Structure 1
Amino acid sequence: MNRSLRTLLGASGALAIAISTVLLTATNSAAEPVDYGKGDGAEETGGSDKNGIYAAARITYSGSVAKGGGTGNVTPADVNWTPPPCWYAPYLGAKDFKEKMSKDIEGQLNAPGMGGHAGAALSELQRHYEDEYGWTDTPGYKDYNVENDGKGMFWAAVENPDEPDLLKRSSCNDLPFWVENGEAPPPQYEQAITPQILAALAYQHMELPDTEVTLAPEAVTKVNLPTWAWLDKAVFDEVQATAAINAPGFNLQATTTAKPVALKLQPGTEDAETYPASGECVINADGSIGEPYAKGKADKTPPCGLKYLRSSGNGTFNLQATITWEITWTGTGGAGGAGGDLPNGTFGNDQAITVQEIQAVNR
């Protein structure tokens, strides 16, 4: 957008309200079916607003994801990595966009007290979509581009509802722009939706299995007695989460795959030893972690486990078993969709362990 137009349009709170009516928000709709701007004769598939205007293509999630569109349970190992706070995505076809946008602008222009700078800014916003010459050197759209209805869509900003920082969430602040079906958005819109952005969102919504580590002895152990820990491959395998977005002439999809690679044991007290000493139990060649305890191994050191050096008294120790997952992604339908690596993820479970003193009998 031309800088002078951006300055003028962003100069008043009243205008910000007007613009916000045409910007997408993903609240309460992240996991709903895909909807898109309907053309003439198109079948209505749900997702309209109160005015019957069909909203944008929504991102749908499938696979191992949190229910209800909420965030998953993965904690990124890279504390500096965050999912995208906002992005641009298909919004409405030209006719539907004109109906909604012109109604919103007229409503604001006719509001009491809407004059001066705010009124002028709204008039320029209206001119931007009605006059092909736009504002100064910024190309506009003749009659909201209705002559090209069905050949493309207006794209608009989408806020990530799970981004806590309001400034980041609203940082996609360009006006809705036109994209032809099958074409990529103009390069200046760096935050336009891509397979890589979808992969990050799938990561954000991924739900890893809540798997407890098998222990021997189980739940109750003795001071100075090695406790074996392991996870069988049968209950410890890779999981996938997929994010997809579909609209006329526009289809993107990305799948993130999480593969378990290590188990970290934290005994819940400093009076304990772990095996190995780092507490990091690596994955075996067969996909399992650790080694199951068997009769006759009581005097041996477990490849994965721990040993408590004092009693838990009348309480318990909180053993935390955290699994590290290696996460990668692949995508289809757009540039940059070949895939790659995402930060490792972690997810831990707590298990209450009772540690008893070994009672000696003197005769």
Structure 2
Amino acid sequence: MEDGYNSVANDPRQPSYAKSAVGQYRGIYKDGKYKNYNLDKANEGTFYVAVRDPERWLTPEAQACNEMPFWVKNGETPPVKNVVTPEILAQLAYKQLPLPTEKAQLKPDGGSKVNLPTWVWLSKLYHAYSVTAQLKVGGVDISATTTATPVSVQLDPGTKDATLFPSSGECAPNSDGSIGTAYEAGDANQNPPCGVAYLRATGGGSYKFTATVTWKVSWTGTGNPGVHPLPDATYGTPQDVTVQEIQAINR
């Protein structure tokens, strides 16, 4: 506060109204509502200040975060909207979840034949991921842990002319955390536990196949007993699949 005031008040290039404004602002904390920035109460409370998310600071919600710095005694809840709470920490932790973002592996890879099953699997092991966010400053010590657990992979063949395995198109994680089963030689005549069989050729184009992983997300935090839900997290990358007719000649 003092540095900001001095940089304006002692700059001859600054207009008088700017100097007056910073002087009035400084006065609130120096000699007005607060005395010398409450330095004599440094162990009794904390100043709170509005901070905007730099990734979306121009949004109306961020622009509404414009409260002047204010003092709160230790143990008291700040009397403003959008104060950092365990739930907000949980949302921040949500953004840092290291969820796998791999593309599904297909066999045949990128090309298939009509009525020939395409095996689908994900090679990484899918298990629960957790991130903890903590705010510890002055008399404030709160935290929240956000956890994402994989629940399914939804297959979208990119066309209605297809048969899904299983028929719901929803592949649940295996007991070891894998999804689907990797194709091995000799599996060509079997239906995959997770896969698709196309019923119509693509001609000169392709189908947009997508395997979307859904994660159930929840959080626990300071002063909030129990487990609280957050929106599901989903990830899926479209892949081009070409399908050809099987040509045969009878003699």
TM-score over 0.5 for the alignment? yes
Q: Which amino acid aligns with 1:341?
A: P
Greater CA deviation, 165-174 or 259-268?
Answer: 165-174
The residue aligned with 2:107 is 216
Conservation of the 8 A alpha-carbon contact between 1:211 and 1:235: no
Judge conservation of contact 1:229–1:290 (CA < 8 Å) in 2.
yes
Structure 1 residue 209: deviation in Å? 1.0
Structure 2 residue 125 is matched with structure 1 residue 225:
no
Following the alignment from structure 1 to structure 2, what is the Cα–Cα distance between the partners of residues 222 and 238? 36
1:205 partner letter: Q
Aligned to 1:112: 15
- Whichever structure has more strand as a proportion of its residues is 2
Contact 1:196-1:339 at 8 Å conserved across structures: no
User: Which residue is 1:125 aligned to?
Assistant: 25
Measured after TM superposition, the shift of residue 112 of structure 1 is: 1.5
TM-score of the superposed pair, with normalisation by structure 1 = 0.58
Could you tell me how far apart the structure 2 residues matched to 1:176 and 1:104 are?
A: 20
Q: What's the counterpart of residue 274 of structure 1? A: 164
Matched residues in 1 for 2:3 and 2:223: separation?
Answer: 31
The SS at the match of 1:362 is: coil
Shift >6 Å, 4+ stretches: none
1:123 deviates by 5.6
Counterpart residue type for residue 236 of structure 2: G
Q: Which residue in 1 is equivalent to 2:207? A: 317
- 8 Å CA contact 1:262–1:281 kept in 2: the answer is yes
| Runs of 5+ unmatched residues, structure 2 | none
Q: Please give the secondary structure, in 2, of the residue aligned with 1:341.
A: strand
Report Cα offsets for 1:234-282 as digits up to 9, x if no partner: 5222223333334344444333221111111122334333234443223
Equivalence map 1:236-251=2 (5 Å):
236-251=126-141
Q: CA distance change for structure 1 residues 317 and 224 in 2, over 3 Å: closer, same or farther?
A: same
The unaligned stretches of length 5 or more in structure 1 are 1-97, 135-139
Which residue number corresponds to residue 352 of structure 1?
240
CA RMSD of aligned residues (A): 3.3
Which letter does structure 1 place at the counterpart of 2:83? Answer: A
Whole-Å separation in 1 of the counterparts to 2:25 and 2:210: 56
In the alignment, does 2:83 pair up with 1:183? no
Aligned length: 251
Q: 1:168 to 1:337 in 2, by over 3 A?
A: farther
Match of 1:157 in 2: 50
Q: 1:202 aligns with which of 88, 93, 108?
A: 93
For residues 14-55 of structure 1, what are the alpha-carbon distances to aligned partners after superposition, in whole Å with 9 as ceiling and x for unaligned? xxxxxxxxxxxxxxxxxxxxxxxxxxxxxxxxxxxxxxxxxx
Asked if the contact 1:271–1:310 (Cα under 8 Å) also holds between the matched residues in 2, the reply is yes
- TM-score, normalising length: structure 2: 0.81
Task: Describe the SS at the equivalent of 1:114.
Answer: helix
Report deviation, 1:311: 2.3
Deviation at 1:337, TM superposition (A): 7.2
2:41 pairs, out of 128, 148, 156, with 148
Post-superposition offset of 1:211:
2.5
Whole-angstrom CA distance in 2 between matches of 1:200 and 1:325 = 15
Q: Contact conserved, 1:261 with 1:326, CA < 8 A, in 2? A: yes
Structure 2 Cα separation of the partners of residues 294 and 222 of structure 1: 18
